[in-house]
Amino acid sequence: MAASPSFAKLPSSLHAERKGDVAILRLARPEKRNALDDATVLGIEAFFSALPDGIKAAVIHGAGEHFSAGLDLSELSERDTAEGVMHSRMWHRAFQHIEFGKVPVVAVLHGAVVGGGLELAAAAHIRVAERSSYYALPEGSRGIYVGGGASVRLPKLIGTARVMDMMLTGRIYGAEEGQAIGLSQYLVDNGAGLAKGIELAERIAINAPLTNFAVMHVLPRIAESDPASGYLAESLMAAIAQGSDEAKERLKDFLEKRGAKVTHG
Ligand code: 1HE
């Protein structure tokens, strides 16, 4: 995998590489368990907001024994209330560039996926968890509150009651439980996560870009809208996608026996 000069300039806590159409971002601060300091969060924003042309999917993963220990707690005590609001907004802005950015993002998880680390993972579109993964929101015991989007994204993944339980009691979910409740979509052996994440990203990258755009940007909005607006938006999006040259080519390929069949097993 070659380092690519065309990615945004990143802090030393992040490392980017390119594998074909896939961009791979590694949290590279294992000595601090990939704790997310301001420079790292701003680097994540820079990376996802300026992906080079030709990138069609992305993977984010962590170096060392853990995906991420969350917010860098050593920076916390320096902020007053007003700065705290702006800090949280900065995290929201950065992670918006993942959730509603240019390309689908696969997060590969292992070890601690806690606090802001879980918030980062939740902003991705697909989560692959190695068996070592565990999930927690230790904010309650630290006397703080989530600030990186957990209140919005996590209830959609696992339901408000489970998020409350995690925050109030410090409940920790292991990888298998996490898979069962919807924190991850794929569960793989330790050490196998990155390869699986790249395989999924490469699969995503061959979709029509307009379909990927619709899945990332239109589907979640429809899911949150009233049904009548949702059905209308769906029809409009379906017509836009279907009318594209790429869709016509792909349908023709199938009808002329060149397209892949949908088979199982
Ligand atoms: C850190 C952080 C951190 C480790 N900020 N420095 N997050 C937490 O409450 C989780 C806090 N971390 C831990 O519980 C543990 O570090 C782990 C279970 C993740 C890993 O344990 P371990 O034994 O492998 O490592 P360690 O010895 O605890 O930590 C190694 C170093 O990383 C050590 O620094 P050193 O200079 O003494 O070597 C730790 O201080 C440092 N480190 N985690 C800063 N989080 C937008 S709001 C989001 C709010 C939150 O994310 S709250 C959750 C915060």
3-state DSSP of 67-112: CECCECHHHHHHCCHHHHHHHHHHHHHHHHHHHCCCCCEEEEECCE
Judge whether residue 1 has pLDDT over 70.
Answer: no
| Ligand 1 centroid distance, CA of 36 (Å) | 10
CA–CA gap between residue 119 and residue 140 (Å, rounded): 15
- From residue 98, alpha-carbon distances to 91, 156, 195, 198 in Å are 11, 17, 20, 17
What confidence score (pLDDT) does residue 248 get?
87
pLDDT at 106: 98
CA of 29 to the centre of ligand 1 (A): 11
The residue whose C-alpha atom lies closest to atom 3 belonging to ligand 1 is: 72
Q: Which tens digit of pLDDT belongs to each residue from 28-82?
A: 999 999 999 999 999 999 999 999 999 999 999 999 999 999 999 999 877 899 9
Residue 2 has pLDDT above 70, yes or no: no
Distance CA 130, CA 152 (A): 25
Is it the case that residue 244 has pLDDT exceeding 90? no
Task: Check residue 169 and give its pLDDT.
Answer: 96
> Which residues does a 6 A CB cutoff place in the pocket of ligand 1?
32-33, 35, 65-66, 69-74, 88, 91, 112, 114-116, 138-139, 142, 144, 146-148
Identify the active-site residue in 139, 202, 249, 256. Answer: 139
Rg, Å, the chain Cα set: 19
* Stretch 201-228: mean pLDDT: 97
Q: How far is residue 95's CA from residue 6's CA, in Å, rounded to a whole number?
A: 21
Mean pLDDT is lowest, of 67-76, 92-101, 139-148, 245-254, for 245-254
Q: What pTM was estimated for this model as a whole?
A: 0.96
For residue 35, which of 149, 130, 111, 102 has the smallest C-alpha distance?
111
